[in-house]
Amino acid sequence: MRLGPIFRILGALLYGFIGYELGIALTGSVELNTDTAPVIWGATLGGALLGALLAPWLVIAPARSARNWLRNVPMPDLLTGTIGLAGGLLIAALLAYPISRLPPPFGSILPFVGVLIFGYLGVTVLVLRQDDFFSFFGVNAGKLGSDDDATAASTPAQALLLDTSVIIDGRIADIAQTGFILGTLQVPRFVLNELQYIADSSDTLRRNRGRRGLEILDKLQSNADVAIEFTDEDPKDVQQVDDKLISLALSGGAAIVTNDYNLNRVAQLQGVKVLNINELANAVKSVVLPGEDLPLKIIQEGKEHNQGVGYLEDGTMVVVENGRRFLNQEVLVQVTKVLQTNAGRLIFAVPEGS
């Protein structure tokens, strides 16, 4: 029910009555005649119009602000504040009669001052000492949750749309198995069709990649701890798989999980949340600082003269200057520089003691 029209009518009646009384005061007469009627009716109509215009701003806006403020107040604070206010006003009421017997002007002013002081003290003291208050009555304040907390707890996790690249990559299965993914993994039918098309390719490499993707989906589906579902939703207004994923994410409020840099950028520009497995992998890699010593096995030659190349356990490439002579040997190297690129992290080092 909309309260705006009701308050406008009440405001028009109240301010119209005030305008009527003002018109009578201006004319000095309660009789309506040719001299007084324009003033009285003008003041009445003007007051009614003013009341109809101002009533929502004077009543509804403050009430809405108070309601929004109350929504953000924790239930323990609200409960103890109300009890404290009631207790403070009760004390002020008990003291009001003896204080009112004081000689003027104290007898008329101090009771009102007492209401303000004891009301404020009641709210402040009980809110600040609410833990002791609840403990005295054997109540756990932590259980007095707000509606917002209950709503947040019952809000389902965001669905995650998997694209072809992240399925073929395979790391999503290991990540899901750890329990870090809270939402439901969704595989659209058009992504599954693209995987099947790749698996049926005449090119051996593409065929193996497609089959690996299907195996990853089977692994996810067989894991009881992973929530995965296949959806038949297929946006008809777009043709490309990436465009379909973005359209599906926008319509369903889902996020996209991908390794595709271009899809990542385009989706983010359109306001879609994107989870990039490569970014996650870079985030969990061990931190290496210049000057640190690392044991490293040189497994191949570098592009430049006398360079050797090795890899850390997390797959980070380490380029070792003058490391070619240690090919197929494990040596201690000292980090000289760390570069972060779009493709990942690259570490430069030199053999210890060189």
* CATH code: domain of residue 248: 3.40.50.1010
* Together in a domain, 298 and 341: yes
Instruction: Answer whether residue 140 is part of any domain.
Output: no
Please report, for residues 159, 235, 256, 264, 304, the alpha-carbon distance to residue 268 in angstroms, rounded to integers and kept in the order given. 16, 19, 10, 6, 38
* Together in a domain, 180 and 211: yes
The residue type of 339 is L
* Together in a domain, 167 and 254: yes
Instruction: Answer whether residue 139 is part of any domain.
Output: no
* Together in a domain, 166 and 277: yes
The residue out of 118, 134, 150 marking a domain boundary is: 134
Cα 243 to Cα 232: distance, rounded to the nearest angstrom: 16
CATH code, 297: 2.40.50.140
* Together in a domain, 216 and 319: no
Q: What is the pLDDT of residue 87?
A: 92
Q: Which residues in the chain come in under a pLDDT of 50? A: 1, 146-155
* Together in a domain, 47 and 113: no
* Together in a domain, 278 and 211: yes
Cα 5 to Cα 303: distance, rounded to the nearest angstrom: 79
Q: What is the pLDDT of residue 4?
A: 65
* Together in a domain, 85 and 183: no
* Together in a domain, 164 and 264: yes
The residue out of 42, 72, 102 marking a domain boundary is: 72
Angle formed by the axes of helices 147-154 and 61-72, to 10°? 60
Range of the domain at 304: 286-351
Q: What is the pLDDT of residue 150?
A: 44
Q: What is the pLDDT of residue 167?
A: 93
Q: What is the pLDDT of residue 343?
A: 65
Instruction: Answer whether residue 150 is part of any domain.
Output: no
Q: What is the pLDDT of residue 2?
A: 58
* Together in a domain, 15 and 119: no
Q: What is the pLDDT of residue 153?
A: 43
In sequence order, the 6+-apart residues with CB closer than 8 A to the CB of 185 are 160, 162, 172, 176, 220, 226, 227, 228, 229, 257
Instruction: Answer whether residue 24 is part of any domain.
Output: yes
* Together in a domain, 53 and 106: no
Domain count, the chain: 4
DSSP state of 102: S
